[in-house]
Amino acid sequence: MIRGMDQHLPSTEAAVSALRAIAVEYGREIDVTHDIGADQTSRRSAAGIGVITDPDGSLPHEAFVEFGGLPRLSVRLYPDDDALITVEGVECPDIPRDDVPAFLRSVFDGLAHVRARRFPPGYFLIVPLPGDRTHKEYMPMITLSPWLSSRVR
């Protein structure tokens, strides 16, 4: 994996491998849980008991990854090529799977920050992504952890 290069992560397993490499790069512990089958994945709850394939015959694969250390960070990789990243309790939904490594590097490299708004009062987690893009997520003041508070600008 080349740092800073855009990469296509065609499968959940490829994304998990990329996250394992990032954990090694940043000296983080990592815990991975896999859910395989339509009856196991979170977005396929209507599949019914014992139904393991999607209507097209594919076998959906979802993974939940937790990183050790601060900030508290977890990633849920969905079979639909997107992810839910949670940073210190702030949920960032609908992150494209291919953007997950860049998102994590922004957080681990200290580029992610919290922007305070005076009126109406509020806070936003800002995570820079390649190509002059950013992910911006609103968060109430009550959710500011010590790590998030240390990154307020």
Check residue 148 and give its pLDDT: 94
Q: Give Cβ neighbours of residue 30 (< 8 Å, ≥ 6 apart).
A: 19, 20, 23, 65, 66, 67, 68
pLDDT of 2 > 50? The answer is no
pLDDT category of residue 50 using cuts at 50, 70 and 90: low
Mean pLDDT, to the nearest integer, of 45-66?
62
Mean pLDDT, to the nearest integer, of 37-55?
52
pLDDT category of residue 95 using cuts at 50, 70 and 90: very high
By the 8 A CB rule, do 138 and 123 touch?
A: yes
Q: Which of these, 8, 14, 19, lies nearest to 101 by C-alpha position?
A: 19
Q: Which of these, 153, 102, 94, lies nearest to 127 by C-alpha position?
A: 102
Q: Kindly report the pTM of this predicted structure.
A: 0.82
pLDDT of 76 > 80? The answer is yes
Check residue 141 and give its pLDDT: 76
pLDDT of 38 > 60? The answer is no
